[in-house]
Chains A and B, each alone.
Chain A
């Protein structure tokens, strides 16, 4: 019970911190949102300044910072994230809503594939200790240490520019209407293959290494030896005795990385000009779009929290010891 209470306090505090950091972000901008808008549309009359001030809720006419904070919290409770400055009349929530599916489908699939393949390879490497797969590990460290964007750029150059196997960038071919029809879906899949492959290749090594290392410790346990001595088949020993216990840290890591699905592949989206959440955040930052920046950051932070909650729940189900432990 103490565990649950402690976690609840954590989620409340973490959510509050995320919301507050988010509130402070646009207030740190040197020039405020109104001046950005005034600069963006030179045709605006000086009298429009007041109207913008009220509309955006960031100017001096909106009372002190404390009052702004509470009205911001009120807006959040109503799901009102404000209006984008760089894509003016569009609501921030609409823009985020448009980009989330792209990120979620592509990065989500890549994360799952990389987790499954990496974990299986890790099991294999540990079981065939010193085999060719195990020998290959130092090579994988090279992939892990290379900046992702560098590999991605090389991949674009080789596969898209030279051999024309994949499209260069974007989420779908120009001129196609978005919607659930065949040509659009095929185009989207075609555009997502290269980003997905680069993501899987670079993130797989991490899962593999972790699985291998925990698995090696588990294989040394007496119950694994006992299972082998009983004459059980290798497959049974590997999967239901050793791997089943060794997979716990990987599962915990996986649940957490699901939260970073929305945040994590930011650089991928920028390199491939993929129309996802990361690209949206990048555009917001480079065009001084405070409300949009705020909204995206909040969504990302809350997604991570939600995933962490799932990770907790999964862990308690998967490992009975976690229920007793006050490890957090």
Chain B
């Protein structure tokens, strides 16, 4: 009996998950697959690595091209590039995700409190996030990591998240502000719900896609910043081996000049693919939030022919994301 119910529940959640998966825009699905592959490599990579990534070959006479022994060739000191790649992915993904989690947590706490509480709390918190917003992140990071030459992954993620939360906080605050004045929130307030319940059951569920988008955006920022910093040689001295560290050695040992494509291309392409997964995910989430961006929604195949359906009747909403806040991220600022 209990078993049957359990089986039923499992099928139900499976069906639910499948339905949710299908409801995702294609871009988000492709993005999710990319991210999933990298998450897998991050977990299993070090165990799959065929060689010790630090092991050099004493007789090495320069980088050797891919062969059956070394699928992605070797570096100029004879280190196995594939092993370096498999090990390095872990740090990069870990830094990105950890920084994303911390920063998103901060931005939700600050954004929701500011938007929901209003008054002095709002003034203070908005001021705080605006000040953090105009602090030039990359120069500050370079200066900080100049002092921390051997920072580990956790420290790097922590510092990146400390500078990465204000974008999300601003957007979440704006959304909270608009949700707070909606009828359904007013209604549950009238019925005597207390503040915590209002926040966790009325406000937050309506911000899930926004929070997810801000998380994905922060992960991208953290990945690109950490790779950029490592490339410049900050944090390379530590125990952390990442895709950024690989690129640092690529530059340092002139891999590009000697034409060792098997050495310089993989780390760059891996970062780009992971980043692309994140960007696609972000687009998908954006489309989920504002269906008009979805191209597929306006086309339908009937009898083998593609038909362009009229736009669905628009529902007047009091507030989208305030227009002048929608996704303003200076393109130069985080261009690590």
Contact = CB atoms under 8 A, between A and B. Distances in A.
Contacts of B333: 256-257, 260, 263-264
Contact of B330 (A260, A305, A325): A260
A293 B146 contact: yes
Interface in A17-43: 17-18, 21, 25, 28-30
A147 B331 contact: no
A173 interface: no
B323 interface: yes
Given A203-B335, A257-B333, A145 B134 contact: no
Contacts, number: 190
B314 A220 contact: yes
Contact of B324 (A6, A304, A327): A327
Interface stretch (A48-56, A62-70, A90-98, A265-273): A265-273
Contact of B142 (A249, A260, A285, A325): A285
Nearest to A254: B330
Contacts of B273: 145
Interface in A204-225: 206-207, 210, 213-214, 216-217, 220
B275 A260 contact: no
Taking residues whose C-beta sits less than 8 angstroms from the other chain, chain B's interface range is: 35 or more
A90 to B, nearest CB: 20
A147 B332 contact: no
Contacts of B232: 267, 270, 282
Interface in B208-254: 220, 224, 227-228, 231-233, 247, 251
Interface string B304-336: 000000010010000010111111111111011
A242 interface: no
A133 interface: no
Interface string A112-144: 001000000000000001100010001001101
A288 B147 CA distance: 9
Contacts of B325: 249, 327
A84 interface: no
Interface of B: 27, 123, 126-127, 130-131, 134-136, 138-140, 142-143, 146-147, 174, 220, 224, 227-228, 231-233, 247, 251, 256-257, 264, 268, 271-276, 278-280, 283, 286, 290, 292-293, 295, 311, 314, 320, 322-333, 335-336
25 contacts: A17-B131, A25-B143, A30-B147, A141-B280, A145-B275, A145-B276, A145-B279, A149-B231, A149-B247, A153-B256, A203-B335, A210-B327, A220-B292, A249-B327, A257-B332, A257-B333, A260-B330, A260-B333, A263-B333, A267-B138, A286-B146, A286-B233, A297-B136, A322-B324, A327-B174
Q: Which 7 A-B pairs have the closest CB atoms?
A: A264-B332, A145-B275, A285-B146, A257-B330, A206-B331, A150-B268, A146-B272
